[in-house]
Every structure is written in structure tokens, then in C-alpha cells.
Chain A
């Protein structure tokens, strides 16, 4: 148990569906991250939030929409996804977003887009 909880663990959705991924951290951290991990590809940083403000957005398609209502919760809203968006989506948190602190990862959401 890393202190970072992601739900759901598995998600299957059609291309016209709208769904949301949830991440909650119980570590008192100020920064939260969304990563995408596809087969045979490195971890791709999607979004970074620091104190509920988005500080980095790495050219992610608009069909992915993050939301950070407070420093403990992070959502990733999904709509009109494509099959190539099927991947493991990992949430992480750290003390701050400087890159000098350990990142603690959740178990991930395995997403399949049909």
C-alpha cells in the first residue's frame, strides 16, 4: 500500500462513452501526476498538478481532461477515446513538483477502449 489509491482498477469503454478515473493520495503531498504506460513504451507524463494548479500539460489530446479539486484528489475525465488510448494509467504524488522528491504511484487503471 503506497498511500495512493486509484479507481477503478480495470475499465472497458466504447469510443463514445464518457468515464472518469479517480486518484486519491493520503500522504499529505502537494503534487499529483497522471502518467500513461503503453506496452513497449516508456512512461509518458500527461499532467502535473501542484497545489491544485496545473503546472504541466504535455501535449495531451483534449479527449483527456484532468481535474484536481483539492491536493488529495485527482481525476482524469475521458470522452470519445480511441483504441490507441488503451493503456495503463498511473497516478502518482510527491511532496512537491520540483522533481527532487520521490514519486509514489498508485496501482493504476487498466483501460481498454473498444
Chain B
């Protein structure tokens, strides 16, 4: 079956360091969405990318969608304690079946 894997599963960084999570799908995705779930909270939508090779920025966050539309990345520059949480990629395959990635849990050490 389809899988959407994210690496790393866990990441601890010192505040101010950069962070990157990678998302890889076994099949082509129509679009890629990123969600953030704070500890004890629920997933909250961050951004959606649709086009092959698309790059979008939100302040310190940079999102990229791969050329083959099977992978994506989220990069955070100069992490802050407010960045703590689990980051999920998600998206539908060409059959409109929606999958969430396995998630990357980010801990920021002050």
C-alpha cells in the first residue's frame, strides 16, 4: 500500500539552529500539505503546494515540493521554542486517497 514516510522521526535542536524534515511518498501526490501539531494539540494546516518544484516561504519556514511530486521538505531557519511540535506532510494520490506522513517531532532546547 501507499506510504508517506518522514525523516527524521525525532529531532532535538538548540534554539537558533536550523531544522529540516523530509517527506517521501511511494506514489505521486496531487498536492502536498503541511500541518503542525503542538504537544497536546491537534494538527493545524500550515501550507499547501501544488506545482512540481514549487517553493513557498512563511517567515522562517521554507517549503518545497519535489519535481516528481513524490517528496517534499520543510526547513525552519533559526528555530525558536514556539516551533516545538510534530510536523506532518499530507496529500492525496492521483486516486484522491489522502495520506498523512509519519511525522517529525521537533524539540527546541532553550
Contacts and interface: CB of A to CB of B under 8 A. Distances in A.
Interface of A: 2, 35, 42-43, 45, 48, 56, 90, 92, 97-100, 102-108
Given A90-B43, A100-B31, 5 more contacts: A43-B103, A56-B97, A92-B43, A102-B33, A108-B42
A99 B100 contact: no
Nearest to A41: B102
Q: Could you tell me the dominant secondary structure of chain A's interface residues? A: loop
Interface string B1-40: 0001000000000000000000000000011010100000
Interface in B90-110: 90-92, 96-103
A45 B102 CA distance: 12
Looking at A90, A99, A102, which has the most chain B CB atoms within 10 Å of its CB?
A99
A105 B97 CA distance: 18
B69 to A, nearest CB: 13
A104 B100 contact: no
